[in-house]
Amino acid sequence: MSPLSCYLLVAALVFAIGLAGALTRRNAILVLIGIELMLNAANLNLIAFWRYGPNPAALTGLMFAVFSIAVAAAEAAVGLGLVISIYRHLRTTDLDEISRMKG
């Protein structure tokens, strides 16, 4: 059981947890939280691979993680803004009730 695989397993677990949250919760905000968790799990993977990868000096994985953190911040801002405006229009954030886009 090499340390890298430990990190990868933890990341996988966190990812699965986030996915479960995103799939099972009703509240849109909590779905967003789950998605954030998934993103972070991915970041953990990136950094772990960078750390144990063949060429850490290249900084590739680290950079990727840093950028994805920045992008995730933007994503959170927009997502929550959307949730708020949805709430303003529909008076709810319950995803089971929000199905206007029905085909």
Partner 1 sequence: MQGTNGFALQTAASGITQLLWLIPAIPMVAAGVIALLKQPARKLAATLAIGSLALSLLLALVAFSHVLSGWTSGHNVRETANFTWLQFGTSTVDLGWVLDPLSAVMLVMVTFVGLLIVIYSTGYMAHDENFTRFFCFLSLFAGAMLGVVIANSLLLLFMCWELVGLTSYLLIGFWYQKPSAAAAAKKAFLTTRVGDIFFLLGIVWLFAQTGTLLFYNSGAGSMEPAALNGLLAAPAALGLSAATVIGLLIFAGAAGKSGQLPLHVWLPDAMEGPTPVSALIHAATMVAAGVYLIARVYPLMQAGTPAGGITTALTVVTWVGAATAVFAALIAVAQDDIKRILAYSTVSQLGYMMAGLGLGGVAVGMFHLITHAFFKALLFMGAGSVIHGVHEEQDVRKMGGLRKAMPLTFATYAIGMLALSGFPIVFSGFWSKDGILAAAKDAHFSRGPFYLLVFGAVLTAFYMTRQVSYVFFGKWRGHGHAHESPAVMTAPLAILAFFAIALGVIGTPAWPWFRSFLEGHAAAIEFGKFGESEFLVLLLTSTLIVLVGLGFGWLLYGSKSPAPEERDVLEKAVPPVWAALRNRLYVDEFYGVTFIAFYKWWAEVADWLDRRVWGGIVALVIWVFGRLAHFDRFFDNEWVNGGFDKGCEELYSGGGLLARVQSGRTQTYLRLLAVAVVVLAVILIWSSRP
Partner 2 sequence: MVIFAILAALTVAGGLAAVMLRNTVHCALAVAVAFAGLALLFLRLNAQFAGFAQILVYVGAVAILVVFAILLTRNSETPATGVFSKTWLAGLVIAAAVFAVLAWAVIKSQAALPQEQTEPQISVAQIGNALMGRYVLPLEIVAVLLTAAMIGAVIVAMHEKGSAK
Site for partner 2 in 38-57 (CB under 8 A): 40, 43-44, 47-48, 50-54, 56-57
> Is the separation of the CB atoms in 33 and 6 below 8 Å?
no
Asked if 86 touches partner 1 (CB under 8 A), the answer is: no
Per CB under 8 A, 35 contacts partner 2: no
Closest by Cα among 63, 14, 8 to 39: 14
The CA distance from 18 to 87, in Å, is 23
CB under 5 to 8 A by kind: which of partner 1, partner 2, none does 98 bind?
partner 1
Cα separation, 42 vs 75, whole angstroms: 15
Q: Closest separation between CB of residue 13 and partner 2, Å? A: 6
| Sole binder of partner 1 in the list 9, 13, 22, 59 (CB under 8 A) | 22
